[in-house]
Structures are given as C-alpha cells and as structure tokens.
Amino acid sequence: MKTNLKLAWRNIWRNKRRTLITVASIFFGVLLSAYMTSMQEGSYDKMVDIVVKFYSGYMQVHHEDYWENKSINSSFDYDQALIDQLKKHKEIDFVIPRLESFGLASAGELTRGTAIFGIVPDVETQLTGIANKIVSGNYLKSTDDGVLIGEGLANYLKLGLADTLVIITQGYHGVSAAGKFPVRGIIKHASPELNKSIVYMELKTCQYFLSAENKLTSLVVNVADNDVMNRTLKTLKSEIKSPYSVMSWEEMQPEVVQQIESDRAGGILMKAILYIVIAFGIFGTIMMMIAERRREFGVMISIGMQKRKLSVILFFETLFIGLLGIVSGLAITLPLILIQAKNPIPLTGETAKLMEDFGFEPYMFFSTAPEVFWQQAISVFVITMLIGIYPVVAARRIKEIKALHGT
C-alpha cells in the first residue's frame, strides 16, 4: 500500500500543469461554495437574531386567543405560579413579562404608528440588550414614567431628550388611552423597522396607561439556541394548558422561516451547478490522463503489473488531486470567512434601502458555523471518490495489444 501511495503521488506531478489546473478548479469550487454558504447562513443567523434576541425570544406564552388578533383584550393576569412553573426547567435562561400594544405617536403636527412595549427594564435587557443600545439619554428605571424611543422614530418626530411624546391608542376593553410621556432615552434598534416605530415603557406605567392593571400579553421564554428550544417546546406544550398557549419563534414568524427555506433552496441549486462544473473539470482531467497514458499502461501490464494494482494507483492519484484541492481551498477559506464574519460587508444605495424596508440591517453577514466548511469538503470529496471509479474501470478494461499501439 505504501508503494502504491508513493507511485500515485509521484505520478500526479509528472504533469504539473495538468495537476495544478485540476487542483485549482477544486480549490475555487470549495472557496466559492463555502463563501456562498457562509454568506447565506450568516444572513439567516442575523434574521433569526433580530427576531429572537430583539423581539420575540425563542418562545412565548400567551392567552390562547391572543396571537390571532394581537388584541390587548386577550391579555392575561400576571401569574407568579406560571412563571415559577416555567423557571423550574433548567434549559430556560429567563422569563420576561411584557405588555404590548399599538398606538399613534405624535409630536407637534407629526404622527406615526408605533409599537408600544411595556417592560420590566432590568429583565428585558437580558434578552434584547437595549440598555447597551442607547445613543442618547438613560435607560428606564423601575416605576419610570418616561419612555425610550427608537432613533428612527425620534428623527421622524423631531424629538430629543426631555421632549414630550404624545401617544393615543385604545386600552383594555376599548377604554380610550391618551398620555404625554417625557423621552428618557433614544435607542438604535437592530431592526430598522422597529427602530422607526418602537416605544418602550416601564411595565406598570404601561399597564396604568392602557387601563390594564396587572395584565400581560406575553411571557417571553428564552433558551440557549434552536436545538434546546425544540426539546423544551414539546415539554412546555404538554405542561401549559388552556387558557394559555406556548409558541416558538418559528410559529410566530412563519414568513421568516419560509423566506429562509426558499432562499436556502435557491442556494442549493447554485451549489449544485457549481459542483457539476467541478465534477466535469476533474472528470475531464482524469479522462485526459488515462488517454495520454494508455501506451504506458500497456507496457506496464505487459511486463507484469497486475491490473488491480494499476487501478488502485490510478484511484489514489484521483484521490490526491481531490484532497489537494479541498485542503488548499479550506486553508484559504477558513481565515477569509473568519475575517469577513468580524467585518460584515456594508450595503449601499438601493440594495441597502431594500434591506431596510424588509426590516434588516444593510450588511452582508457571514457565518463561521462548522457545517459551512465540512459540508463543502465532504461534497467535493464524494464527487472525487465517484470520479475515481472511472480510472479503476478503465484500467481493468485495458487491452494490452491495443494499448501498446496507442489505440
């Protein structure tokens, strides 16, 4: 076996140009497929981050009628026993109470629709980190009667610190709600869409404003990641009974899941085309190598080399070419993507505006998840192994007399 490996390694360098061209095609195939996959998965991860870490959390507990109409009338009473029941699961990091509604924000003659979040400041920032996203002013305190607003909303309404924000909406059971709130701070929310409409109030202030004393619209349940969520969700759905319901972020945001799946399907198609190009590049080189060396093979078999041993050497030659391309591709791709992950590519012009209109940050993000790299390596390796069957079959079918005459 050792001799076969040495012969195969020496043989691929007998024609360096042919070998390097083939290795280069594999190298660029691995590089492009990994780069494209990283870009896709990075975008998906950011989408999930915006949904999970800046809004919904991984799971939420609602009144069973709430999600269909998102009406404050389908809220439920603050129940410490329910919170304790959720917290007893060690997979759950924290539980965040919220009261959410919609209203019309106004300043002077300017108005805009707004999303109102009643929060417990110290608890809410564990998930969203909004205390670290304040660009002006201070974070809310317990029993604070002021508000935090998104930078986009502040710019539109021309509001600054200590200015007054007027909010008009409908409270619990149709009660009219109107109030004036001093602006305590301005935040730059990660979601451009929420940045233009978000208003945070301290929970008790929000409950009083909406005439919804001791009411909540949701309990945000946070876990480490999607894998933990899938396990925990089944348990919670079996434990939490009517009048409550438990929903995952995927159930609350099906359009995000559909967008990811459809885009991922398009990416698979593009990579399939790329792999076909790689496969034909390797296959063409191997066919050329076999054709050029037919006389050589005929001589070797005539003086006693077994066809089985020759086929093994040819298989190893194909394997070495594939491995050289894969290893060199990963060696360049890994540091390149690590750099890109820390320095996402900013988008400009119409593309940036389109991204913001869809509620995403105008950047091209990259993922460094292990599967980004090993999936491409395995795919190209499998292609190489399949192509390696051809020289094995070709070596076993060589007719010595024809091969010696070069036919």
Write the DSSP string, 62-119.
EETTHHHH--GGG-EE--HHHHHHHHTSTT--EEEEEEEEEEEEEETTEEEEEEEEEE
First to last CA, the chain: 30
Ranking 41-50, 59-68, 119-128, 362-371 by mean pLDDT, the lowest is 41-50
Percent above pLDDT 90 for the chain: 41
Q: Secondary structure of 355-367 in the HEC alphabet?
A: HHHCCCCCEECCC
Percent above pLDDT 70 for the chain: 97
**25-34, 201-210, 308-317, 397-406: range with highest mean pLDDT:** 201-210
Contacts of 43 (CB under 8 A, 6+ apart): 263, 364, 365
- Tell me, what's the pLDDT at 219? 95
Query: Residue 359: pLDDT band by 50, 70, 90 thresholds?
Result: low
Question: How far is residue 297's CA from residue 395's CA, in Å, rounded to a whole number?
Answer: 8
- Tell me, what's the pLDDT at 134? 93
- Tell me, what's the pLDDT at 358? 61
Query: Residue 96: pLDDT band by 50, 70, 90 thresholds?
Result: very high
What are the angstrom distances between the C-alpha of 133 and each of 136, 142, 340? 9, 18, 23
Query: Residue 303: pLDDT band by 50, 70, 90 thresholds?
Result: confident
Query: Residue 403: pLDDT band by 50, 70, 90 thresholds?
Result: low
**pTM listed for this prediction:** 0.73
Q: Is the pLDDT reported for residue 57 higher than 90?
A: no
- Tell me, what's the pLDDT at 129? 86
Strand partners, 345: 364
Q: Is the pLDDT reported for residue 120 higher than 90?
A: yes
Q: Cα-flanking dihedrals φ and ψ of residue 117, to 5°? A: -120, 115
- Tell me, what's the pLDDT at 393? 86
Numbers of helices and strands, H then E, in the chain: 17, 14
- Tell me, what's the pLDDT at 13? 87
pLDDT tens per residue, range 138-190: 999 988 999 999 999 999 999 999 999 999 999 998 899 999 999 999 998 87
Q: Tell me what the pLDDT averaged over the chain comes to.
A: 88
Give the number of other CB atoms < 10 A from CB of residue 351: 11
Q: Cα-flanking dihedrals φ and ψ of residue 62, to 5°? A: -125, 170
Q: Is the pLDDT reported for residue 388 higher than 90?
A: no
- Tell me, what's the pLDDT at 405? 67
pLDDT tens per residue, range 205-244: 999 999 999 999 999 999 988 888 988 999 999 999 888 9
At 150, which helix (H) or strand (E)? strand 147-150
Ordered by start, the domain boundaries in the chain are 2-51+256-404, 59-222
Q: Is the pLDDT reported for residue 67 higher than 80?
A: yes
Tell me 344's DSSP state: P
